[in-house]
A and B are shown apart, each in its own frame.
Chain A
Amino acid sequence: MHKDVLSSIEGITIFPIIGLIFFAVIFGLVIYYVVKMPKKKADEMGKIPLDD
């Protein structure tokens, strides 16, 4: 019954695929950035709350 409802919408399967691609790309970019981040910089950022 579920399938009947949605299979009538054209190209419906593209939606979850778009979603996964979006996520994978953004996740990849974030990981790349974080790995490249200098350690000194990360330590500085982490200390912000202790500095008041």
Chain B
Amino acid sequence: MQVERFSYDNRIVKYFALATATWGIVGMLVGLFIAIELFVPALSLNLPWLTFGRLRPLHTNAVVFAFVGNGIFMGVYYSLQRLLKTRMYKDFLSYTHFWGWQLIILLAAITLPLGMNSSKEYAELEWPIDILITIVWVIFGVNMIGTIIKRREKHMYVAIWFYIATFVTVAVLHIVNSFEVPVSFFKSYSLYAGVQDALVQWWYGHNAVAFFLTTPYLGLMYYFMPKAAGRPVYSYRLSIIHFWSLIFIYIWAGPHHLLYTALPDWAQALGTAFSIMLIAPSWGGMLNGLLTLRGAWDRVRDEPVLKFFLVAITAYGMATFEGPMLSLKNLSALAHYTDWIIAHVHIGALGWNGFLTFGILYYLIPKLWRTELYSKKLATWHFWLGFLGIVFYATSMYWSALTQGLMWKQFNPQGILQYPNFLETTMQILPMYMIRALGGTFYFGSLFLMVYNLYKTAKQGSFLAEEAAEAAPLEKLTDKFTRKKAHSWLESRPIQFTILSTIAILIGGIVEFVPTFLIQSNVPTIASVKPYTPLELEGRDLYIREGCNNCHSQMIRPFRSETERYGEYSKAGEFVYDHPFLWGSKRTGPDLHRVGGKYPNSWHYHHMIEPVRMSPGSIMPPYPWLEENELDLSHTKQKISTLRSIGVPYPEGYEDQALAELEKQAKSISLDLQKAGVAIDHDKELIALIAYLQRLGTDIKVDQQVKK
């Protein structure tokens, strides 16, 4: 048969490689900065955009979507062309995808420090950017599926199945979780409220980890590990089982993020059961990756690429064992809200994603520039320094988690909390925060060894933009579907394959979602729970703007250690008007759900302006601008009517009297503050925030008072 000549597009791979390294440095720098802020709070320099609350979403978004995201595309654009013996479908789509993705990252880097965020973890970007993400993601998908269709290799290798599942699932997740109603160009409210919003968010959050940080990287592992080891994957059969069971099970496990919360029991149990089941495919995949090195283990000693891959896959195994363990209710009870979760995700991010990316970069750059790696010695130094960084990071965080988690739960023989002051437990773990930052410094510093090494490598070689290749065209598919050859039939039919994998993830999604949507009408309403007043609503939006939910939860679990410390445990019915929910996932500071009425207004005033004055030793940054900024009322009316349109029972026409009511409430607070010796105008932002904090969790207290 006539052989066709064509060329691979290496330039797009180079672009994504550059972006991966660049955003990796940015994302990790921000991470290091906020890690240091936790023991040097003055580092925020009294500037809003340098506070932990605003920078933490920037760190997570930069690492997940910018560093790992570009890493995925780098690996996919390289491997897809070669596995399918064809150029990418359309160059135009490749480069639109590239620049579109960088634009999204740039917009995130601007809007998140400015406080424009939806508060939903790993989905903080506001609605116009959400739309842009959808468009760029579809461009990527069209380009990928188009490439698969015009391929010259009949069978789609296992890596490609993982790419397809990634594309399909991320699209579904992003769209379902991003249903939000715009108030203005920079502000929207989640369509869902309370328990329902939490379920959707953690179905998304969990599966973003699964289908953005895991499946595409497994695809990369299945391609680059055999390449680097120079031998085929250990078991192709195992990879088939790995793929189908992983994508089928993963989608179910989301509710394990909400154990002991106001989420229904059956959903919690389902999340736990599927999480435990996940160990099997995850470890099958890990072993498949590791055993690919069979007979080549000696090469690990002097091949940095294999060193990085080996640790990456081991970290994958560790994280996928730890995840199911953490989803057991008894361990979750201790670990949730502590640094354990931070340790867990960083085993994944630093070990699995980071090291796999570095390995791929060390493999690709010499290939693309047709030369040898400049210095294996330097790469080995990078490896050990990075590895040491992970060790310091993880051990300090586990230590910190156990210490603080146990202190929170410790009662003295009289049955009273041993450490009633939350801050005391924070002070105890500050040394661990310092060690964590040291680990982060090692890891971050080691990046520059890589950048220098790869730069010198490129310098000594010459870049091959168009790599010539040849292959016979694909024959018309004539094989009939038979039971015996079902999967091999499927592997040569991308459309059918895509549809089937979509069905696999949708089954889990639908079974979880039907009840989720039914729940709205099944959450028992509590008569005394009322919508927020206009001032409280504005205060709540400030709480979201400042990212308070990154350090403070609003979800008291039904444990005695929590009800003693914070008050009555949280009820599902209390959140029915919370668009979005603000339960949080980490307690760097105490829970705030019952903070309303706990302190006088003046306490809050002093605490926000200078936290250490009210809580000596506090690691919360000061928020002086809240006292200076005038509260922006230009969207208040719009906010009321938007919330009404999604089910919050503000009376018709209420928006017209909202401003007057807002002013009245603000004046009463500023008057109260004046009595306590604080002079502040009623039109400042801080007044609204205090109003919101004082309202938190008080609705059911009203109920109890009435009953008495």
Listed in ascending order, the chain A residues whose CB lies under 8 Å from chain B are: 1-6, 8-9, 12-13, 15-16, 18-19, 22-23, 26-27, 30-31, 33-37, 41-43, 45-50, 52
Contacts and interface: CB of A to CB of B under 8 A. Distances in A.
A15 B264 contact: no
Interface in B506-528: 507-508, 511-512, 514-515, 518-519, 522-524
Given A36-B484, A49-B83, A18 B511 contact: yes
A11 to B, nearest CB: 10
A30 B245 contact: yes
Contact of B244 (A9, A12, A30, A52): A30
Contacts of B230: 50
B488 interface: yes
Minimum-distance CB pairs A-B, first 3 = A46-B232, A46-B236, A6-B264
B508 A19 contact: yes
Contact of B245 (A4, A22, A27): A27
Contacts of B264: 2-3, 5-6
A26 to B, nearest CB: 6
B523 A34 contact: no
A50 B222 CA distance: 11
Interface string B251-293: 0100000000011111111100100010000000000000000
Contacts of B227: 49-50
Contacts of A47: 232
B150 to A, nearest CB: 17
A13 B266 contact: yes
A33 B226 contact: no
B514 A15 contact: yes
A47 B41 CA distance: 54
27 contacts: A2-B263, A2-B572, A3-B265, A5-B195, A5-B522, A6-B266, A6-B267, A9-B515, A15-B515, A16-B273, A19-B270, A22-B507, A23-B277, A30-B240, A30-B245, A33-B487, A34-B237, A34-B487, A42-B235, A45-B158, A46-B232, A46-B233, A48-B157, A49-B79, A49-B82, A50-B231, A50-B232
B236 A26 contact: no
A9 B519 CA distance: 8
Contact of B240 (A23, A33, A48): A33
B454 interface: no
A2 B236 CA distance: 44
Contacts of B265: 2-3, 6
A23 B504 CA distance: 9
Contacts of A36: 484
B248 interface: yes
Contacts of A4: 524
B223 A23 contact: no
A49 B157 contact: yes
B240 A34 contact: yes
Contacts of B266: 6, 12-13, 15-16
A49 B159 contact: yes
B259 to A, nearest CB: 11
Q: How large is the interface on B (under 10, 10 to 19, 20 to 34, 35 or more residues)?
A: 35 or more
Contact of A42 (B195, B237, B263, B269): B237
Contacts of B82: 49, 52
Given A45-B488, A49-B83, 16 more contacts: A5-B572, A6-B515, A9-B522, A15-B515, A16-B266, A19-B508, A19-B511, A22-B507, A23-B277, A27-B244, A27-B248, A30-B244, A34-B238, A49-B232, A50-B232, A52-B82
A34 B195 CA distance: 41
Contacts of A6: 264-267, 515, 519, 522
A12 B515 contact: yes
A31 B245 CA distance: 10
Of B263, B273, B514, B522, most A-chain CB atoms within 10 Å: B522
Given A5-B524, A43-B232, A48-B83, A15 B511 contact: yes
Interface string B7-27: 000000000000000000000
Nearest to A37: B237
A3 B160 CA distance: 42
Contact of A50 (B226, B241, B524): B226
A8 B515 CA distance: 11
A5 to B, nearest CB: 5
A6 B507 CA distance: 20
Contacts of A22: 507, 511
Given A16-B266, A47-B232, A49-B157, A23 B515 contact: no
Interface string B182-213: 00000000000001000000000000000000
B493 interface: no
A4 B571 CA distance: 11
B620 to A, nearest CB: 32
A2 B262 contact: yes
Nearest to A12: B515
A26 B232 contact: no
A23 B575 CA distance: 34
Contacts of B153: 48
B236 A42 contact: yes
B624 to A, nearest CB: 41
A3 B245 CA distance: 30
B469 A9 contact: no
A45 B94 CA distance: 28
Contacts of A41: 488
Interface string B353-381: 00000000000000000000000000000
Of B237, B238, B484, B519, most A-chain CB atoms within 10 Å: B237
Nearest to B245: A27
A31 B241 contact: yes
Contacts of B522: 5-6, 8-9
A30 to B, nearest CB: 5
A4 to B, nearest CB: 6
Of A2, A3, A9, most B-chain CB atoms within 10 Å: A2
B667 interface: no
Interface string B448-469: 0000000000000000000001
B249 interface: yes
A15 B219 CA distance: 31
B241 A34 contact: yes
B155 interface: yes
Nearest to B158: A45
A48 B155 CA distance: 9
Contacts of B241: 30-31, 34
B572 A49 contact: no
